[in-house]
Amino acid sequence: MAEKPTRTDWNAAAAKEVRGKDLTWHTPEGIAVQPLYTAQDTADLDPGLPGFAPFTRGPYASMYTGRPWTIRQYAGFSTAEESNAFYRRNLAAGQKGLSVAFDLATHRGYDSDHPRVVGDVGKAGVAIDTVEDMKILFDGIPLDQMSVSMTMNGAVIPILAFFIVAGEEQGVAQAQLDGTIQNDILKEFMVRNTYIYPPEPSMRIVSDIIAYTSANMPKFNSISISGYHMHEAGATAVQELAFTIADGKEYARRAMASGLDIDAFAGRLSFFFGIGMNFFMEVAKLRAARTLWWRVMDGLGAKDERSKMLRTHCQTSGVSLQEQDPYNNVIRTTVEALAATLGGTQSLHTNALDEAIALPTDFSARIARNTQIVLAEETGITRVVDPLGGSYYVEALTQMLVDDAWKIIEEVDAAGGMTAYVATGKPKAAIEEAAAARQARVDKGEDAIVGVNKYRLAETELLETLEVDNHAVREAQIARLKRVRGTRDEAKCQAALLALTAAAQNPARPEPVEGLPFSSSSGEDKNGASTSSVQAGLEKNLLAKAVEAARARATLGEISDAMEAAFGRYATTPTPVQGIYGSAHEFDTRWAQVVDGVEAVGRRLGRRPRVLIAKMGQDGHDRGANVVASAFNDMGFDVVSGPLFQTPEETVVLALENNADVVGASSLAAGHKTLIPELVKGLREAGRGDIKVIAGGVIPPQDYDYLRDAGVQGIYGPGSNIVECAADVLRLLGHNMPPANV
């Protein structure tokens, strides 16, 4: 009998077949992935069993064999009435839970009649100004039977208060409310930027919500710690893991410092991860996350094993969706959904194929939802718990992610925790560096995207897109606001708002209390004792005070302003990273042509050509803007990154003050048809119609002519090559730029 082949034998055979080529794959995470994994790579690894510590193989023993994951779709647009109708259609078609998307005015704590949100109302989510809007949103949807997930961080206090009061007026007690509020403010300071208040008072809000829900809402998850937005901002899997778990640790520590017993609230903490196209990396990421959280909670002193279980919601990647050849997005979402389920997610949202350019239509939403239903009911993956468990590659990769992420978590701890670490700017810079490196690889064709930088069609069929009439929505919201303000008890409302401000100015310092156990829905703890001690600690609780204000029909903007009176409003200006994009193109001919062109224009102007990167409206997603700013800076442009959340009028002033040659308006949240024409108009009225206005981001091709007619001279949608964008800008500035590939 021939001897069994060894690893050495395989190495020799493979080397011969590939003529000595190194088959090791160096991932963006810095992990060296071998082309083959065997038992010897996992000899020292023991992932355990599903339902048992460290929960690597799943938080529950039976996992999907007992109950499949919860099918969710993130939805909300236009008015509460339109969103409610959409929810009802989806629920009738098989969706099991609701995930609410709010518009950007709501996220940032502004009522729809505020002058700063003219272009934002109803565009990227549903506008919620009062309890009355929230009641309409859930009309006919029993809140004692429906799990509701709400993506809200900045205006989390008024939104959760409205939800509670809407439930009450539907006849549903707080203890019956089921779902999740995101309430993850730390990641907002890193990537998404929909904050309102400075970091420390923002952390107070998080702690107060955890305290209130622990006492009154035992079925409700008080926080969803979100790696998803880090993923979308460009974070590697290691960065997403490390920063998300470190965020969770910080929230747990703050809750404990406010007087809560860890086992009273830990079971209501949940996590939210993004799932991208690196299939096995994403599977391993979810397994590693459970291991890391178990380690963190054990270290914090949790006694109940349920406290150490990581509860996970996932969403397929928005960044992986492409405008070009858009039906490929169905395939991408399916692959990502499969990775999430094989990784053991407990609920899942699948993106629609058209979300790279617009809000989803009913047609695209149905395909996205059915993707999950097919996986759950036709593939057989729910028949076996953790079917990839024991894979040499998956087990080895899981451990590598655990080890690498833990090193970063230790660095965070050494800095004094995640709040202090965020203040250093290190996590934001690290994610932006990863995003710039990724874009450079895509632009160079090193990372293939089918239909974008490989196998690109000569022409792409335009998709029918959903467009919201922003003006009509805003007018309707303003009319409802007037009715609410005109019919409420004004004295009672103002008294409640003053009480909220006072509570914000004078936080309570409670003694440690036990709180409610996970399984209880009553006002007694696990020993049957009264929770009056918990209630006593809520006298100055911000959510408790906001609930009273909501009952008195205070608006979202008024509740936000009441806290702003004590906390102030936080503002920041982006500082893009440098050198990452340029180093990746060091020996690229086309890059060299662009750099030479920038120098030529600079000689003609007597200074470097100056580009203002503008973020108008209340959209805080700044990955695209920062990557473009970083790349243009490396090319030699003088780049001015404007503050976030600018109005067109403020952007005009900034362009004039900086003597900009070009204003690049970054758009993601569908405000381009409102805000960018106003910018062009403002520059012309200021006598500076010579300043070139270009637009980039999520802009449907159907809108290009509209923007060109308004005076926009360059439009660069998703999938645009940044080097070619820069070449086009040079042509706009009068440079005779040679065509590509010449």
**Any idea what the Cα angle at residue 103 is, between residues 248 and 107, rounded to 5°?**
40
Contacts of 197 (CB under 8 A, 6+ apart): 205, 563, 564, 567, 568, 569, 570
What stretches of 470-522 show up as alpha helix (H) in DSSP? 470-487, 490-505
Give catalytic residues, as residue numbers: 74, 228-229, 615, 619, 621
Distance CA 241, CA 401 (A): 8
**Counting beta carbons within 10 angstroms of the beta carbon of residue 170, is it exposed (0 to 12), middle (13 to 18) or buried (19 or more)?**
middle
Written as six digits, the tokens of 259 are 């007087």
Q: Residue 474 in contact with residue 121, Cβ under 8 Å?
A: yes
User: Helices 722-732 and 623-635: crossing angle, nearest 10°?
Assistant: 60
Q: What are phi and psi of 231, to 5 degrees?
A: -55, -50
Q: What are phi and psi of 639, to 5 degrees?
A: -105, 130
Q: Residue 310 in contact with residue 271, Cβ under 8 Å?
A: yes
- Return the SS3 of 139: coil
Q: Residue 213 in contact with residue 268, Cβ under 8 Å?
A: yes
- Return the SS3 of 462: coil
Distance CA 631, CA 432 (A): 12
For 592-621, give the secondary structure using H, E and C: HHHHHHHHHHHHHHCCCCEEEEEEECCCCC
Q: What are phi and psi of 232, to 5 degrees?
A: -65, -30
Q: 451 vs 235, 350, 445, 459, 661, CA distance in Å? A: 24, 21, 12, 10, 33
- Return the SS3 of 572: coil
User: Helices 199-216 and 237-257: crossing angle, nearest 10°?
Assistant: 70
What does the CA dihedral 483, 484, 485, 486 come to, rounded to 10 degrees? 50
Chain-centroid distance of CA 90 in Å reads 23
